[in-house]
Amino acid sequence: MPTIITNVEDLRVLAQKRVPRMFYDYADSGSWTESTYRANSADFQKIKLRQRVAVNMENRSTATTMVGQKVAMPVALAPTGLTGMQHADGEILAARAARKFGVPFTLSTMSICSIEDVAQHAGEGFWFQLYVMKDRGFIERLIDRAKAANCGALVLTLDLQILGQRHKDLKNGLSAPPKLTIKNMINIATKARWALGMAGTRRRQFGNIVGHVQGVSDMANLAAWTAEQFDPALNWGDVEWIKKRWGGKLILKGIQDVEDARLAVQSGADALIVSNHGGRQLDGAQSSIEALPTIVDAVGKDIEVHMDGGIRSGQDVFKARALGARGTYIGRAFLYGLGAMGEAGVTKCLEIIHKELDLTMAFCGHTQIDTVGLDVLLPGTYPTPLRAG
């Protein structure tokens, strides 16, 4: 009997069955005790909605814009590393699903499929996420490649100067492609669908790096290079340099503090993303939805504020929008869909979130997503701005 998929959790359960353990755990885990990872989702559940009745619910629309680009709903696919290890050619499949649905897809620097691979399948909502490496020549070339691929925005990640301690990845010996240990081979042998897909693709390494860096031609070289390349000296001067080099829409990812949000405004960026890297960096940090209202209050009139972290439903998107987020990003949710069913799974994830968003909006008395504000939330259940003094 075929599995009936009705929510994102159904996709997660199916992905867990079909994706090798090291790659499933990579997507579905946080750092240290995973307290921030769990809080990202749990804190959404504390927020309660105000149901309204006898309101005309006809002609509803979730369409809006993110950094000036039209989107079918205020959702983008977040940049996620190793997406092509959740499912063969994963980045291409996810980009294709996003294009058809009308939402942006953001390709990670640490993707399996390259910028050029994905550009052939992505539409106008193709964005690229950049990590700052010590090799500035490589960064310049990456930016130029993103320009050549007609990426509509550059998403600069600021919260990964050093790598958080992720216990599951360490225990699993995470690598791409996977190390052929006895333990890994036994696990992969139980994932026939995944293995067959991987056997049929040539894309099994980091496509944006291998062949684009002198001396890095295979995974052995790559491991040594990446271990030394994330730049702990990253600063706001680098942001200014990248903005000039890029010249297009710039989104800064990883903002959790008001002072950093103000610096993001001063940098001239077009948007910032309130994000704790999905709870994968600083464990014990505030959840994204808790941090959002204070940042919106401080800089929301000066810059577009987006958020990610913990979104598993259209109701989560609705709550984030009510608290001032112009746009939201889903990472794990679409990865569950990808691991479960490939492109069809990503499409299913987007359909689920859209339907939940649309219905929730209607029940709360709104027909246009752009009119949704704090009036849809029950006072006393949602986080409010923190002010000094």
Query: Annotation-wise, does 286 bind a ligand?
Result: no
Query: Annotation-wise, does 332 bind a ligand?
Result: yes
- The position carrying tokens 């005790």 is 33
Query: CA separation (Å) from 177 to 82, 85, 131?
Result: 10, 8, 21
SS3 329: strand
CA distance 288 to 159: 13
Do residues 198 and 108 touch, judged by C-beta distance below 8 A? Answer: no
> Is residue 243 situated within a structural domain?
yes
Cα-Cα end-to-end distance for the chain? 60
> Is residue 193 situated within a structural domain?
yes
Query: Annotation-wise, does 277 bind a ligand?
Result: yes
Query: Annotation-wise, does 80 bind a ligand?
Result: yes
Query: Annotation-wise, does 79 bind a ligand?
Result: yes
Looking at residue 216, its pLDDT comes to 73
**φ/ψ of residue 330, rounded to 5:** -115, 130
CA distance 303 to 219: 40
389 residues of the chain, pLDDT tens digit each = 457 999 999 999 999 999 999 999 999 999 999 999 999 999 999 999 999 999 999 999 999 999 999 999 999 999 999 999 999 999 999 999 999 999 999 999 999 999 999 999 998 899 999 999 999 999 999 999 999 999 999 999 999 988 888 999 888 888 767 777 898 889 999 999 999 999 999 999 999 998 888 877 665 566 667 778 889 999 999 999 999 999 999 999 999 999 999 999 999 999 999 999 999 999 999 999 999 999 999 999 999 999 999 999 999 999 999 999 999 999 999 999 999 999 999 999 999 999 999 999 999 999 999 999 999 999 999 999 997 65
Looking at residue 56, its pLDDT comes to 96
> Is residue 315 situated within a structural domain?
yes
Q: Where are the beta strands (DSSP E) in the chain?
A: 64-66, 69-71, 75-77, 105-107, 126-130, 153-157, 250-255, 271-274, 304-308, 327-330
Q: Which domain does 160 fall in, by range?
A: 8-368
Looking at residue 171, its pLDDT comes to 87
> Is residue 273 situated within a structural domain?
yes
CA distance 260 to 154: 19
> Is residue 297 situated within a structural domain?
yes
SS3 276: coil
CA distance 83 to 27: 9
> Is residue 388 situated within a structural domain?
no
Q: What is 301-312 written as a DSSP string?
A: TTSEEEEESS--
Q: What is the CATH number of the domain that holds 225?
A: 3.20.20.70
Query: CA separation (Å) from 32 to 28, 35, 59, 170?
Result: 13, 8, 47, 11
Pairing of strands 64-66, 69-71: antiparallel
Give the count of domains, the chain.
1
> Is residue 383 situated within a structural domain?
no
Query: Annotation-wise, does 275 bind a ligand?
Result: yes
DSSP code at position 5: P
CA distance 72 to 62: 6
Which residues lie across from 250 on neighbouring strands? 154
Query: Annotation-wise, does 21 bind a ligand?
Result: no
Query: Annotation-wise, does 37 bind a ligand?
Result: no
Q: How far is CA 142 from the centre of its chain?
A: 19
Which residues lie across from 64 on neighbouring strands? 71
Is 212 in the active site? no
Query: Annotation-wise, does 26 bind a ligand?
Result: yes
> Is residue 345 situated within a structural domain?
yes
Do residues 367 and 72 touch, judged by C-beta distance below 8 A? Answer: no
Burial class of residue 385 (count of CB atoms within 10 Å of its CB; 0-12, 13-18, 19+): middle
CA distance 88 to 202: 9
Query: Annotation-wise, does 168 bind a ligand?
Result: no
Catalytic residue among 121, 277, 354, 366: 277
